[in-house]
């Protein structure tokens, strides 16, 4: 009876729009859902550094290199915020990293595609970070306090990421015929995988109902995807780019762009580890983790010595 009463009280707090903080009572399922979603979000930020990182040494100018370096560094920071926010739910950083490296945890499908040309760096900033902004602006209102606050800080940086990407895309779209062709070819490769970032259709999304009930998210996967399409089709047309979807059509009545069906076989295939770059991404993460072992040991030894010093002093 007591558990039921606590769940009802918890739901009342959610319905009143109150923030749930780490020390508050919460249903185990709420905690598990947040650990799942937030840790996978953190993994996505860290793995997401790899595709663009591939181009840091080959940026076409010092300015582009500095901007790209800054963006990739931001993504690392986003991962740290999100791992720290997730630790408030009682899972350790080590457990989360183990879940990623063992393949147990997911990260966003979008990062399992190759970055084949420099235009991909602009398209990723514009589309992938554009998709992240749509999703994360909503998550900034999440019922879990630490997640919501992490999102507020991250969204500010994502806006810079999108602007630098769109500026690169616009520059190439107005550039030489080779640049125009390169940026259109890149858009053709990244458009559909970006739509997949928002997850399966609402009626095939096992987690959405609980996340909406508990105000972890306030919009469904399809609603977020539609917002993304409406905004980015207009931005593509503004710089003379074509969306690679023959079924794309503007509905005057609804005011929305209607679009074709996503290749869900590709989506689930990528999620199951069979995307173009899954193996490379995981090998890179495992290698980075192994190479970073000495840093973790040094930090632990330093902490141990500090603790001894404090104990002696007290
Ligand atoms: N990639 C990988 N897995 C995905 C996915 C995707 N694009 N979309 C859905 N999935 C997985 C879900 O994780 C879930 O599997 P699980 O139960 O084992 O975790 C399953 O597919 C069913 O999906 P659901 O719709 O039921 O799951 P959610 O309601 O959690 O929706 C989500 C998926 C939209 C990714 C949601 O979890 C979410 O909004 N997460 C927080 C934001 C996030 O993680 N964004 C990733 C991109 S980060 C980024 O873009 C960084 C930027 O700086 C570039």
Place of tokens 């640049």: 179
Q: How far is the CA of 108 from the centre of ligand 1 (A)?
A: 6
Q: Which residues of the chain have pLDDT under 70?
A: 1
Residues 107, 53: Cα–Cα separation, whole Å: 17
pLDDT 10s digits, 196-220? 999 999 999 999 999 999 999 999 9
Predicted TM-score (pTM) of the model is 0.96
Structural contact between residues 117 and 186, judged by C-beta atoms closer than 8 angstroms: yes
pLDDT, position 163: 97
Q: Which of 207, 214, 221, 272 to mutate to test the pocket of ligand 1 (most atoms within 8 A of CB)?
A: 207
pLDDT at 205: 96
Task: Supply the pLDDT for residue 314.
Answer: 87
User: Do 243 and 233 form a contact (C-beta atoms < 8 A)?
Assistant: yes
pLDDT at 268: 97
**Ligand 1: which atom is nearest the Cα of residue 205?**
26
Which residues have CB under 8 Å from 256's CB, separation 6+?
A: 226, 229, 230, 250
Which token pair is 120? Answer: 């991909």
For the chain, the distance separating the N- and C-terminal CA atoms, rounded to the nearest angstrom, is 47
> How many C-beta neighbours within 10 Å does residue 19 have?
17
Rounded CA gap, 267 and 195, in Å? Answer: 10
**Nearest CA residue ID for atom 50, ligand 1:** 132
- Ligand 1: residues whose CB is within 6 Å? 36-37, 40-41, 44-45, 48, 75, 78, 106, 108-109, 128-129, 132, 135, 158, 196-200, 205-208, 211, 221, 271
Distance 44 CA to ligand 1 centre (A): 9
pLDDT at 1: 65
pLDDT of residue 295: 96
User: In the structure encoding, which two tokens stand for residue 76, read together?
Assistant: 């690392």
């Amino acid at each position: 009876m007591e558990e039921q009463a606590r769940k009802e009280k918890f739901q009342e707090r959610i319905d009143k729009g109150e923030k749930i903080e780490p020390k508050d009572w919460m249903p185990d399922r709420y905690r598990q859902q947040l650990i799942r979603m937030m840790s996978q979000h953190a993994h996505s930020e860290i793995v997401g550094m790899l595709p663009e990182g591939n181009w840091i040494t080959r940026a076409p100018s010092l300015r582009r290199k500095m901007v790209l370096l800054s963006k990739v560094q931001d993504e690392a920071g986003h991962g740290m915020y999100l791992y720290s926010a997730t630790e408030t739910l009682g899972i350790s950083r080590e457990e989360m990293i183990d879940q990623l490296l063992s393949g147990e945890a997911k990260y966003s499908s979008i990062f399992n595609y190759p970055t084949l040309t420099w235009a991909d760096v602009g398209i990723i900033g514009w589309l992938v970070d554009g998709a992240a902004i749509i999703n994360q602006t909503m998550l900034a209102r999440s019922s879990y306090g630490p997640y919501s606050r992490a999102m507020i800080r991250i969204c500010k940086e994502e806006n810079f990421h999108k602007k630098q990407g769109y500026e690169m895309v616009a520059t190439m779209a107005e550039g030489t015929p080779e640049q125009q062709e390169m940026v259109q070819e890149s858009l053709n490769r990244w458009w559909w995988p970006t739509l997949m970032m928002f997850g399966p259709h609402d009626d095939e999304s096992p987690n959405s109902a609980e996340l909406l009930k508990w105000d972890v998210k306030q919009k469904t996967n399809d609603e977020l995807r539609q917002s993304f399409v409406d905004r980015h089709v207009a931005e593509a047309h503004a710089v003379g780019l074509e969306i690679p979807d023959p079924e794309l059509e503007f509905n005057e009545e609804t005011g929305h762009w209607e679009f074709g069906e996503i290749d869900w076989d590709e989506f689930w295939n990528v999620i199951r580890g069979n995307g173009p770059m899954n193996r490379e991404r995981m090998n890179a993460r495992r290698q980075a983790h192994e190479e970073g072992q000495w840093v973790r040991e040094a930090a632990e030894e330093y902490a141990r010595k500090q603790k001894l010093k404090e104990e002696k002093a007290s």
